[in-house]
Amino acid sequence: MRGSKLRTDEIHELFARLAELNPKPTTELLHGSAFELLVAVILSAQATDVGVNKATRRLFPVANTPAAILALGEEGLKRYISSIGLYNTKATNVIAMCRQLLELHGGDVPRTREALEALPGVGRKTANVVLNTAFGEPTIAVDTHIFRVSNRTGLAPGKTVREVEDKLHRVVPPEYRLDAHHWLILHGRYTCKARVPDCPRCPIQDICRFPSKTPAAKTR
């Protein structure tokens, strides 16, 4: 799966091209506040953004604050999210998370990694997404797409998610760090796909070190 490492000038060029194609990238999870984003990210574990959006489009107009979701109760919340995988566990976590936000943070989403990761259902990846997308911190949440793209291209090869995250922090140029997470996710989701990457139409094909690029005839 892995290619060799990219040079600094190649990394600059890679991000310059992704930035040119999509100057203002953002998450595809629908949200209108830090709290809505936090709930959506918790619901998105092992689920698609499209599936989560379908549920939150109905949930958020009814309940989009910790107090309102607590008032729904666990069973009430499940009625909105039952189409999403692992919804039982996610409902338990979201209710416990709302309770903790009210008890410890006055109902607000905390802005520190430590406080975010202490919330039920919130791990490092979720904290990174919220810090980046809600609060503008230059964090990089490594999901399956970023892990794959970082390894295939040679941008930040690593055996574990944490190794890739740490390498990305070292190699991504500062001017691209805030949006790197979204550029890489979208690139992995729509171009550098898991099963058959769309190499013939890839904007960074000449930079990428993946040794098994898809030939044109195999992408259809």
- The residue ranges that bind ligand SF4 (CB under 6 A) are 152-153, 191-192, 197-199, 202, 204-205, 208, 210, 213
- How many Å apart are CA 183 and CA 155, to the nearest integer? 13
CB of residue 141 vs ligand SF4: minimum separation in angstroms? Answer: 19
CB of residue 152 vs ligand SF4: minimum separation in angstroms? Answer: 4
**Is 143 annotated as catalytic?**
yes
| Other CB atoms within 10 Å distance of the CB of residue 20 | 9
**Is 5 annotated as catalytic?**
no
Active-site pick, 90, 143, 167, 179: 143
- How many Å apart are CA 94 and CA 151, to the nearest integer? 33
- How many Å apart are CA 92 and CA 57, to the nearest integer? 20
Active-site pick, 5, 54, 90, 125: 125
How far are the Cα atoms of 127, 141, 174, 204, 205 from residue 177, in angstroms, in the given order? Answer: 16, 11, 5, 18, 21
| Other CB atoms within 10 Å distance of the CB of residue 150 | 26
Q: Which of 137, 158, 138 is nearest to 147 (CA)?
A: 158
